[in-house]
Homo-oligomer: A and B are copies of this chain.
Amino acid sequence: MKKFAMYALLVVFLSAPVVIGANSQISEDTQTCIDCHASFHPGIVADWKKGRMANITPAEALKKTKLERRISVGKVPDGLVNVVVGCAECHTMNPGEHQDTFEHNGYYIHIVVTPRDCASCHPAEVGQYGKNLMSHAYGNLQNNPLYRDLVDSVNGTQSFADMKTTYKPPDVKTDADSCFYCHGTIVQVKGMRTRETEEGEMSFPVLSGWPNHGVGRINPDGSRGSCAACHSRHRFSIEMARRPYTCSECHKGPDVPAYKVYAVSKHGNIYASIGRAWNFDAVPWTVGKDFTAPTCATCHVSLVISEDGDVIAKRTHQMNDRIPWRILGLIYAHPHPKSPDTTIIKNRAGLPLPTELTGEPVAKYLIDVMEQEKREKTMQGVCLSCHSQTWVDGHFARLENTIKTTNKMTLTATKILLTAWDKDSIFNEAIEKKWVEQWLFYASSCRFASAMAGADYGAFANGRWHMSKNIQEMIDWLEFKLEQTPGK
């Protein structure tokens, strides 16, 4: 794939740009793309044209003040600086690194645009994102044997004969359409395929794991993630990334009910009721002026300032630098892992878990109390924009209490489970599935409800009621099974 020279493309970039407005100049290459694709895929082109990248050149972007700037690179490569960011700019970037580069009407293009490509103009954001657990979402699931076992138990198929079910592991298409839709697939070139098109016969790469825009996608250039997970193609708008619906694509189910909790919180109510007048496009984002209640992005990602111009929170694509606890996805809530790669974690029992099965955190891999306090302070900075310290202290005291009580309720469920466990997979029997629901659904929901002040979801919707009921049902199951097995 390195058979073509990088400079060949640079030459292309240096060709004269086409002027489409006072401030936006489309490169000749991009114009060539548009000439055909505006007719074949009119929706994409139209969407792109409405976006900022189609209407501003990096040179103009660099003239903005530091706080207003959306690109973080100091100097944009010459060929890119005076044209808007169009088809060719992204889909021909870094061709030597892209396993999926192919020849298409005289251009060497790739289908899968990656964070490494985006880093040409947004290196700070891509760098931060590398420290975000989400960038490792593929490996943290696939390469953790315990979690891979969970995936198999969910996505695999079962057969029934002689009063027994047997599991068959899932095929890759099912995985890609289930867990890895959000976690990200591995996208690899599996050959080329020739097919008839409106422009005659053409060849295209055959990609495994495609389509996908999961947050931890393993890309054909070896990079991780997809910026389009949140900055949806082909407008790539900051507005969309700031809307809660973007997060809800992956954070709405019972395993990560962040959106559902937000929706019943006062914040979510204010957003839904009067947010239509807010400015979701402003950079920096000014509390009180641009919005009067947070969306997900406000607390977790955005550069937020006051009307006086004070920086309330710096932009972060690492996200966990505002998060002291990990409250979801693991058996017990625990201090946030140090490394975004959690496959390195092992507990004393040798399990790939950040806590023991009985809840004690494996300190070595987790941030310490001082780092937790620092992160909590950063998050509270956002809260204090609208709330007094008394209010904020009361809120966080409840969250810490909920972490304790939900961990306790998970421990109870785990003790019941361990009484019944037959030491094979911990995910296939009915009681094991109930145990998983105890922490993956119910305990975690209670914590989200506390963390984001959406109590309704943590009471009867999928929280304390179910956490408590589930334990009774686990006990009943155990009694029934012990009855069946007199020897036990």
Given contacts A178-B464, A398-B173, contact A472 B165 (CB under 8 A): yes
Give the shortest distance, in Å, between A34 (CB) and chain B (any CB).
Answer: 12
A388 touches B41 (CB 8 A): yes
In the assembly, what is the distance between CA of A24 and CA of B461, in Å? 44
B455 touches A177 (CB 8 A): yes
Give the shortest distance, in Å, between A302 (CB) and chain B (any CB).
Answer: 14
A41 touches B154 (CB 8 A): no
A154-B468, A254-B461 known, 10 other contacts, Cβ within 8 Å: A39-B310, A41-B387, A160-B412, A178-B464, A210-B390, A211-B391, A243-B272, A245-B269, A249-B456, A479-B484
Answer whether residue A274 sits at the interface, using C-beta atoms and an 8 A cutoff: yes
Query: Which of B182, B270, B385, B394 has a CB less than 8 Å from the CB of A456?
Result: B182
- For window 416-449 of chain A, which residues contact chain B by CB distance below 8 Å? 416, 419, 428-430, 433, 440-441, 449
In the assembly, what is the distance between CA of A453 and CA of B430, in Å? 29
A to B CB contacts below 8 Å, 20 in the list: A39-B308, A43-B385, A45-B288, A47-B292, A154-B459, A154-B464, A174-B401, A181-B459, A207-B390, A232-B273, A235-B274, A235-B292, A239-B273, A243-B274, A245-B268, A245-B269, A245-B272, A249-B456, A254-B460, A430-B476
Give the shortest distance, in Å, between A374 (CB) and chain B (any CB).
Answer: 18
Residue interface bits A454-488, CB-to-B below 8 A is 1, else 0 = 01111111011100110111011111100110000
- For window 265-290 of chain A, which residues contact chain B by CB distance below 8 Å? 265-266, 268-270, 272-274, 276, 287-289
Residues of B close to A3: CB separation below 8 A: none
Residue interface bits A244-265, CB-to-B below 8 A is 1, else 0 = 0110111111110000000111
In the assembly, what is the distance between CA of A170 and CA of B458, in Å? 14
B449 touches A177 (CB 8 A): yes
Query: Which of B44, B252, B388, B398 has a CB less than 8 Å from the CB of A176?
Result: B398
Query: Which of B174, B195, B472 has a CB less than 8 Å from the CB of A389?
Result: B195
In the assembly, what is the distance between CA of A441 and CA of B181, in Å? 21
- For window 100-125 of chain A, which residues contact chain B by CB distance below 8 Å? 111
A154 touches B465 (CB 8 A): yes
Residues of B close to A440: CB separation below 8 A: 460
B429 touches A441 (CB 8 A): no
Residues of B close to A245: CB separation below 8 A: 263, 268-269, 272-273
Interface residues of A (CB under 8 A from B): 38-47, 50, 111, 153-161, 163-165, 170-171, 173-174, 176-179, 181-182, 195, 197, 204-205, 207, 210-211, 213, 232, 235, 237, 239-240, 243, 245-246, 248-255, 263-266, 268-270, 272-274, 276, 287-289, 292-293, 306-308, 310, 384-391, 394-395, 397-398, 401-402, 405, 408-409, 412, 415-416, 419, 428-430, 433, 440-441, 449-450, 453, 455-461, 463-465, 468-469, 471-473, 475-480, 483-484
Residues of B close to A156: CB separation below 8 A: 468
B385 touches A41 (CB 8 A): yes
Residues of B close to A173: CB separation below 8 A: 397-398, 401-402
B178 touches A458 (CB 8 A): yes
B46 touches A409 (CB 8 A): no
Residue ID in chain B nearest A440 by CB atoms: B460
Give the shortest distance, in Å, between A413 (CB) and chain B (any CB).
Answer: 8
Residues of B close to A408: CB separation below 8 A: 157, 159
In the assembly, what is the distance between CA of A158 and CA of B406, in Å? 10
A240 touches B460 (CB 8 A): no
Residue ID in chain B nearest A441 by CB atoms: B460
Query: Which of B159, B272, B473, B484 has a CB less than 8 Å from the CB of A412?
Result: B159
A266 touches B430 (CB 8 A): no
Give the shortest distance, in Å, between A9 (CB) and chain B (any CB).
Answer: 21
Residue ID in chain B nearest A247 by CB atoms: B269
Give the shortest distance, in Å, between A447 (CB) and chain B (any CB).
Answer: 10
In the assembly, what is the distance between CA of A175 and CA of B18, in Å? 64
In the assembly, what is the distance between CA of A394 and CA of B155, in Å? 19
In the assembly, what is the distance between CA of A455 and CA of B249, in Å? 8
B207 touches A157 (CB 8 A): no
B178 touches A473 (CB 8 A): no
In the assembly, what is the distance between CA of A391 and CA of B402, in Å? 44
Query: Which of B243, B456, B473 has a CB less than 8 Å from the CB of A273?
Result: B243
Residues of B close to A472: CB separation below 8 A: 165, 428-430, 433
- Which 7 A-B residue pairs are closest in the complex by CB-CB distance? A46-B288, A181-B455, A43-B386, A243-B273, A430-B472, A245-B272, A173-B401
A160 touches B471 (CB 8 A): yes
In the assembly, what is the distance between CA of A154 and CA of B441, in Å? 16
Give the shortest distance, in Å, between A290 (CB) and chain B (any CB).
Answer: 10
In the assembly, what is the distance between CA of A449 and CA of B178, in Å? 9
